[in-house]
Amino acid sequence: MLPPDLKIYNMSIAPIPSDSSFPFHATISSTGKQYIYRFCTNDYVDPMSRLYYTHFYYPFDLDLFKHCLSQFIGTHDFSAYSNQIDRETKRLSEVYNISLRTTRTVEDIKVVEEGGGFYRVEFHLRSALYRMVRNIVGSSLFVAEGQMSLSMLQQMLHGGCNRRDNPAKSAPANGLTLQHVYYETY
């Protein structure tokens, strides 16, 4: 009954959270997430990989890109790196009485070279705002291309800014994968 690109390999009854007054919810009950953003720096992207890798075809400083990404590790106000909150998120925040703060904690960001001009950026975090990961990648790339200063990227992490203050575009969606969602009992 699922589309061909989805497979279920394990299923069980959702547990009742031990420290909560609300029932299990796939998003709200998670204790962490791993996102992976894949990109290619070759002159061209293999047609078989084009749906899963973003093609960064402009020259950029890979070491500066990595340094920019490291600036996001820790607890910061990500209001300049998130887009408008969607209606469903607002609805859930009202139902579960959850604050829509823009402060988030990024536990780790790692750039892994896969070989042949292919890379992946691994993000480990508790939760992300709407388009936060894509905006982090896009802003870091913007600095690495020389279109924005590192100090401006850092300044926007200290709060008081919103997405309109960030001149960088979001990185394309085709490189992003929600790789894993962690729960208390899994």
DSSP of 116-168, one letter per residue? TTEEEEEEEES---TTHHHHHHHHHHHHHTTSS-HHHHHHHTTSS--GGG--S
Averaged pLDDT for residues 173-185: 90
13-70: pLDDT as tens digits: 877 666 666 677 777 788 999 999 999 999 988 888 888 999 999 999 999 999 999 9
- Comparison of pLDDT for 136 and 44, the residue scoring more: 136
- Where b means 16+ CB within 10 Å and e means fewer, 115-135 reads eebbbbbebbbeebbebbbbb
DSSP symbol at 44: S
Decide: 65 and 142 in contact? Cβ < 8 Å. no
pLDDT value, residue 46: 84
d(CA 88, CA 2): 23
Of 107, 140, 134, 169, give the one whose Cα is nearest residue 38: 134
CA distances from 53 to 9, 27, 90, 107 (A): 25, 25, 31, 24
Residues 6+ apart with CB under 8 A from 67: 150
Cα 57–Cα 58–Cα 62 angle in degrees, nearest 5: 95
Amino acid letter, 185 = T
150-161: pLDDT as tens digits: 999 999 988 778
DSSP symbol at 70: H
> Is residue 90 scored above 80 in pLDDT?
no
**Taking the model in full, what pTM does it have?**
0.85
Fold of the CATH domain 30-183: Alpha-Beta Plaits (3.30.70)
Provide the token pair at 162. Answer: 């919103």
Averaged pLDDT for residues 68-75: 97
Please state the domain extents for the chain.
Answer: 30-183
- The number of beta carbons lying within 10 Å of the beta carbon of residue 32 is 14
